[in-house]
Amino acid sequence: MIRPDYLLTGASEIATLARGPVPRVGPAAAELGLVRHGAIALQGGRIVALGSARAVAARIRRPPADRVIDLGGSVVVPAFVDAHTHALFAGDRAGELPAKIHGATYLEIARAGGGIFRTVRSTRHAPAERLIRETSDRLLRAARGGSRTVEVKTGYALNHLGELRLLGLLPAIARRTGLEIVPTYLGAHAVPPEAAGRRREYVNEIVRRTIPQVARHRLARFVDVFCEPGFFTVAEAERILRSARAAGLGLKIHADEFVASGGAALAARLVVRSAEHLLATPSNDRRALARAGVTAVLLPATPWAALASRRSPGREMVDSGVPVALGTDLSPNSWVERMPTVLAHAVYSARLTPAEALTAATVNAAHALDRPVGEGMLREGGPGDLSVFPLGSVGELGYRIDPLPSLIFRQGRPVFLSELRAHL
């Protein structure tokens, strides 16, 4: 009989999300795999027993009293997976906000030296130690919100060496935070100002120089392209993504954020791992995503923070049969760090149900990042990564606007909040 390291009892509900290897939000999304009045036993970093309190008690030797944690009716969910961030940057853009509030356009802010190129300047000039420290602080706060796996895109250096430098910082940030970081190379975030007249050369550099190096040194897991008029065309995006695939890297695409430009259709044609944003994707292209099985990574706080009238099409994607995942889009333009905040935006802005939102923030987000099967779920033999929320039911996640976990387990051990640095 197993004697576990820890026994969690007294959970009113455990959402296991354990419904198979390639799950998708959809009609079955209400099936959260709920276990009521449940218990979880953890040993050696993994879940060794999960079920009703009675069934678990019958299968294990009870650990010492100080290793038995009574959750007092709280709920347990898998650790969150944040499928889309631009967390690696220096500086902020708070100073642009009053002008935006008063109606300044993106172009006007860019002409005043603002927008993405402000962040590119500050990131290029920031010492490595500062980038590691500030990004780690952001991600530790994300961890405090229950995130365990976080995708991080580059894209604020926008030249060969600068982008490689950013990718090279991510292992140190992973060590410092204890998080699983999934690196994505996004040199095609924008054409940098100094390459304005030479965009073909910039794409050549990405395809011929940076992607081969990224692949050779395994610096990133994915390559992403911002496919939008004024950024990269569909043809350029296709060229970059095909070269990434040839180099053995996974594919992602920022598509149809501002206008319907064919980005989602390209995503379906190339069968990329995920297409992101998709605010303006027409229904035909939604259906193409569904047929191709491409996951839509939705970022419901982003249009809200951009003061846009569009909202993220969560309901429309689910109703079209597209698998949906969620991300914070943490960046200087949409500075949200914690996934519980995003769950509320997924419900109140993107019109997912709370059950769909939880699926999208766990098992579907793990799928969008091609993570090992079992991540984003709670099941025997799987990783002991979970969050406890002081809620009466799992359905209150996404319903409550600003909840926080009361306790986090990572690799089978409790993470006391004091371990997450004093200033969190």
Distances in Å between the alpha carbon of 271 and those of 121, 168, 264, 293?
34, 28, 10, 7
**Interface with a second copy (CB under 8 A), residue from 57, 104, 126, 305:** 305
- Note whether 145 binds a second copy by CB under 8 A: yes
Residues ≥6 apart with Cβ < 8 Å to 171: none
Report the helix count and the strand count for the chain, using DSSP H and E.
Answer: 16, 17
Instruction: Based on the shown chain and the rule CB under 8 A, indicate whether residue 104 belongs to the binding site for a second copy.
Output: no
CA contacts within 13 A on the Cβ side of 100: 17
CA 307 to each of CA 30, 86, 91, 201, 282: distance values in angstroms, whole numbers, following the listed order:
31, 19, 21, 34, 21
Quick one: 161 or 424, whose CB is closer to a second copy?
424
Give the pair of three-digit tokens for residue 116.
Answer: 């993405």
Q: Is 12 in the site for a second copy (CB under 8 A)?
A: no
CB of 146 to a second copy, least distance (A): 12
Cα distance between residue 249 and residue 191, in whole Å? 22
- Residues 255 and 276: their CA atoms lie apart, in Å, by 6
DSSP annotation of 95 reads: G
- Closer to a second copy by Cβ: residue 149 or 353: 353
Report the residue number, 75 or 280, with the smaller CB distance to a second copy: 75
Q: Is 233 in the site for a second copy (CB under 8 A)?
A: no
Q: Write the single-letter amino acid at 394.
A: V
Q: Rounded to an integer, what distance in angstroms lies between the CA atom of residue 385 and that of residue 410?
A: 4
Please pick, from the candidates 106, 117, 258, 399, the single residue that binds a second copy as defined by CB under 8 A. Answer: 399
Residues in CB range of 381: below 8 A, 6 or more apart: 46, 47, 48, 374
Is position 10 an interface residue for a second copy (rule: CB under 8 A)? no
Name which of 421, 358, 321 is nearest 75 in CA terms. 358
Instruction: Provide the Cα torsion 283, 288, 292, 296; round to 10°.
Output: -30
Whole-number minimum distance, CB 238 to a second copy, in Å? Answer: 34
Q: Least Å distance between CB 57 and a second copy? A: 24
**How does strand 250-255 pair with strand 274-277?**
parallel
Using CB under 8 A, which of the segments 3-11, 194-202, 274-282, 302-310 binds a second copy? 302-310
419 binds a second copy (CB under 8 A): no
Among 205, 316, 396, 419, binds a second copy (CB under 8 A): 396
Residue reference for tokens 């100073």: 95
Residue 214 or 326: the one with the smaller Cβ distance to a second copy is 326
Residues 316-355 that bind a second copy (CB under 8 A): 334-338, 341, 347-349, 351-355
Q: Confirm or reject binding of residue 72 to a second copy (CB under 8 A).
A: yes
Instruction: Verify binding: residue 359, a second copy, rule CB under 8 A.
Output: no
Judged by CB under 8 A, does residue 404 bind a second copy?
A: yes
Please say which residue, 11 or 215, places its beta carbon nearer to a second copy.
11
Which window, 91-99, 197-205, 252-260, 375-383, contacts a second copy (CB under 8 A)?
A: 91-99
Q: What is the DSSP letter of 262?
A: S
Stretch of 189-197, 238-246, 279-287, 396-404 contacting a second copy, by CB under 8 A: 396-404
C-beta of 138: minimal distance to a second copy in Å?
10
**Choice from 400, 414, 419, 420 touching a second copy (CB under 8 A):** 400
Question: How many residues are given for the chain?
Answer: 424
Give the shortest CB-150-to-a second copy separation in angstroms: 15
424 counts as binding a second copy under rule CB under 8 A = yes
CA 401/CA 91 separation, integer angstroms: 27
Q: By CB under 8 A, is residue 94 in contact with a second copy?
A: yes
Neighbours of 148 (CB within 10 A): 28
Contact in structure between 144 and 404 (CB atoms under 8 Å): yes
For a second copy, the closer of residues 117 and 348 by Cβ is: 348
Binding footprint of a second copy on the chain (CB under 8 A): 72, 74, 92-95, 97-98, 101, 137, 141, 145, 301, 304-305, 307, 315, 334-338, 341, 347-349, 351-355, 390, 392-393, 395-396, 398-402, 404, 406, 417, 422-424
